[in-house]
Amino acid sequence: MELNVKRVIYHILDTGASEPLLSDRETDLDADLTEYFTVCLEKAFSADDSRSCEFLPDSAFAQELAANQDFIDLSRRIAGVIFEQMLQYPAIPAGDLAVVDFTANSVPYLGVLKLCYKPGYTHQTRTLGNARYSGMTPQRTLLPGTPKAEEAVLIDLATNKIRLIEKKYEMDGKKDVYLSTRVFGCGQALPEKAKLKAVCESAAAAVRQAYPEPETLDDVPPFDGGTETAVDLMVHNQAVDNTIAVEDVRARMRESYPLAAPAFEQALAEAGVAEDDHVTVSPARMRKMASRSFRTESGIEIKIPAELCNSDEAVEFIHSATGGLSLLIKDVLV
């Protein structure tokens, strides 16, 4: 994904004060700050806990977004509403708010990044008489050194589609979210991690049911590494730029495992995954799906690339009469 940060405005939302410190002008961006916010946005797009959402019909923010073309004023209004929620619900952590005007693959976006404070220490030097004294002093409002927003809202200005990361906090006696419901007015959806899990688990369950003894069949891909290995590899291979189109997986299921396709599609519908949905997969999870780990009772663990699990030339799975499984690794170099 090609990201281009055009401008940023920065507001301080410290609930230790009675009101937020709102900026009247955009932040001066140098190369380091541009890189910081670019990485924040990249991580927000690919985060496992992000959700794809849409504005509800009665969203006050959607109406404000359509009517207010003043970037600075709009950012101040967003910061003010979030600060009101922070004052009302002390469990919401204090932090700074960066509102970003940027493009992703040439598509215009508005990004809202909540950078929550991290407690820590810094050094302090004083002069006592003729002596110099150095010590440590606690800091309550340190910003994340690693570029990552605890909460983020990324709005596609061309379609009003939203990528949302939010946390639950104690509110009115229960754990609840506030960005989607109380600030931006958008509907909830499954997190990307949950959608991916639903796709993989639904596919594996449907295949196991349709092909209870797949090693005896010639018209489906081999299963020697286990049903989950075969399905994960199939899903993994549909990824383009860390995004998996559910329709591509459905098409591959109909092609490779035709008997399992109806049950798979029914399970997806029950899980709330739409036919035209897209699942964003983090690079770390993509790497995890690309390999399979096997552990013996004695604690020996072997990691094998998933595509090799179905290759008799590289490894061979030997099934015993008692249901056990042995692994023969071929062409070992020592």
Dihedrals φ, ψ of 50, to 5°? -80, 155
- Among 300, 303, 297, 298, which Cα is nearest to 315's? 303
Segment 172-227, tens digit of pLDDT: 999 999 999 999 998 876 677 788 888 888 888 888 888 876 555 555 555 555 56
Chain centroid to Cα 60, Å, comes to 26
Q: Look up the pTM and report it.
A: 0.67
Q: What share of the chain is helix, strand, coil (3-state, %, to 5)?
A: 35, 30, 35
DSSP one-letter code for 298:
T
Segment 86-127, tens digit of pLDDT: 999 999 999 999 999 999 999 999 999 999 888 788 888 888
Give the three-class secondary structure for 268: helix
DSSP code per residue over 199-233: HHHHHHHHHHHH-SSGGG-SSS---TT-HHHHHHH
